[in-house]
Structure 1
């Protein structure tokens, strides 16, 4: 399992009875989590002193209950290392930390998935260590890019990033995160578009990328009503997106929060689509977050990585 254990501003304090107790900066939230099928004693004081609690409804969805929680606040993530402005290859990154705006919104979310930091560390090191003697930046494509965590991590490492998401609101939020992180002038293309149609157009244009990141939803709709269903669309979409890799591509990353799309499935697809034709190696694993109260790890999805 790959564990995002480098956070200072975020922490899973405890997990019990279908819910997780989290610290987001100065505020404590309780949110539902289907992975938490155990019921252990809720002895942590945060269970009673929470600032927000998302109550799931038996009819679907749910609603927030707030206790002295602001409408919006921010947390930061500092990259690993004693000298955070250098990666293991000694190449300086453009930023050593990222700042994210948070707010509770529909269906329990806050605008950030903290477990993804373990992937940010992985690919930002590859980006920062590439082409040390070249003025040409590494080109990264981030598909289903949400509020821009991966986009900002790649830009902070020195990449030129194309950020694509079907939601205009999410792209606007990502831009605000870039400004908050001091990356407002970074070479990022912000696009509101259907990811499949965008990839098809890029293939026709002959554009290529040195790294591709995708975080597809289990189910979603494009800006013109296009339907995305993970189980039906991920295999042909992976085959399509692989055509956009440059001849010297560094990596390909797929995230999955879809039940049934386990690490072994991601590994099989990526080996068939990428490693079989391009060489390199594929790894896939669960990703998780440490739980302070128990000392154990909360699973938070899966990721597949191809590296040259």
Structure 2
């Protein structure tokens, strides 16, 4: 299954190739590296040569932005009823993964049509795309967990920017595994769990995360946090080389052993506006109540 992020007005993947992508974020054009775009760039036309900003990757790791036109430090893009701050960061990212809009639409549909209060746990929650979607959909409560204080602050800004400051959202700066274990001891329960684990990471106190070692045990731990009638479980991954069936099999061996429901997986991607190419952007696995 391939889910396309093709309902944007204020974001556009214009073109890709040669290890890079050309995007429009609102009024601003950015050129960034993308490891998936290994096909050749057909033509480096004017917009490629003079975007607002171009992130140059260094041979020693990392990189830097070069700006050709006046660009604000940050600006706003909207997706349907959701709003997000965009900021070119030192790690080439902008603070938002637009391909996740297909998951946001699904989250909004599941929560808004549930007909009952839904409590959501969002792990490795970054700047809160899924948190904003859950709050917008009317979740009773969203618990947003990330190890980085800066990402938590950015997520709060996105909630406020989307006009959702009055919704119940708890922001937790913590190592995800430690937080989940504490929630188990507290007897906390959630109706929906979302996670977007990195391939490798460190918690606020230096805790090491390796997805191949930690993902399945974490999902098993999260099983203890589910309510008697869970609504959904969503796993996203950007780990290079992982098939969608990796996360589908994990859900089958966890959720599928205890709950009746539908389990499926696939890729998320963005169609380019200048040609018929689709840029693959990651994988997902879902369990949902039937």
Contact residue 76 and residue 98 of structure 1 kept, 8 A: yes
TM-score of the superposed pair, with normalisation by structure 1? 0.91
> What's the counterpart of residue 62 of structure 2?
61
> What's the counterpart of residue 107 of structure 1?
91
> What's the counterpart of residue 223 of structure 1?
204
User: How much has 1:260 moved relative to structure 2?
Assistant: 2.6
User: How much has 1:279 moved relative to structure 2?
Assistant: 1.5
Aligned residues: 286
TM-score of the superposed pair, with normalisation by structure 2? 0.96
> What's the counterpart of residue 204 of structure 1?
185
**Correspondence list, 1:280-291, <5 A:** 280-291=261-272
Q: Which runs of 5+ in 1 are unaligned?
A: 79-96
Structure 1 outlier segments of 4+, above 2 Å: 42-45
> What's the counterpart of residue 84 of structure 1?
none
1:144 to 107, 121, 124: 124
CA distance in 2 between partners of 1:77 and 1:157 (Å): 14
> What's the counterpart of residue 14 of structure 2?
13
2:138 to 158, 163, 169: 158
CA distance in 2 between partners of 1:302 and 1:249 (Å): 22
SS in 2 for 1:123: helix
CA distance in 2 between partners of 1:277 and 1:296 (Å): 40
Between 167-176 and 60-69, report the one with greater CA deviation. Answer: 60-69
Q: In structure 2, do the counterparts of structure 1 residues 44 and 125 end up closer, same or farther at CA, with 3 Å as the change threshold?
A: farther
Query: Does residue 183 of the first structure (1) align with residue 184 of the second (2)?
Result: no
> What's the counterpart of residue 91 of structure 1?
none
> What's the counterpart of residue 86 of structure 1?
none
Query: Does residue 27 of the first structure (1) align with residue 11 of the second (2)?
Result: no
**Correspondence list, 1:125-136, <5 A:** 125-131=109-115, 134=116
Q: CA RMSD in A?
A: 1.0
User: How much has 1:122 moved relative to structure 2?
Assistant: 0.7
CA distance in 2 between partners of 1:40 and 1:57 (Å): 20
User: How much has 1:43 moved relative to structure 2?
Assistant: 5.1
CA distance in 1 between partners of 2:150 and 2:73 (Å): 17
The superposition leaves residues 248-279 of structure 1 with CA deviations (integer Å, 9 ceiling, x where unpaired) of: 11100000000132101111111111112112
Contact residue 52 and residue 66 of structure 1 kept, 8 A: yes
**Correspondence list, 1:89-100, <5 A:** 97-100=81-84
SS in 2 for 1:265: helix
CA distance in 1 between partners of 2:47 and 2:265 (Å): 34
User: How much has 1:31 moved relative to structure 2?
Assistant: 0.4
Q: Which runs of 5+ in 2 are unaligned?
A: none
CA distance in 1 between partners of 2:199 and 2:57 (Å): 19
CA distance in 2 between partners of 1:106 and 1:282 (Å): 37
The superposition leaves residues 44-96 of structure 1 with CA deviations (integer Å, 9 ceiling, x where unpaired) of: 53212300000111111111111221111110000xxxxxxxxxxxxxxxxxx
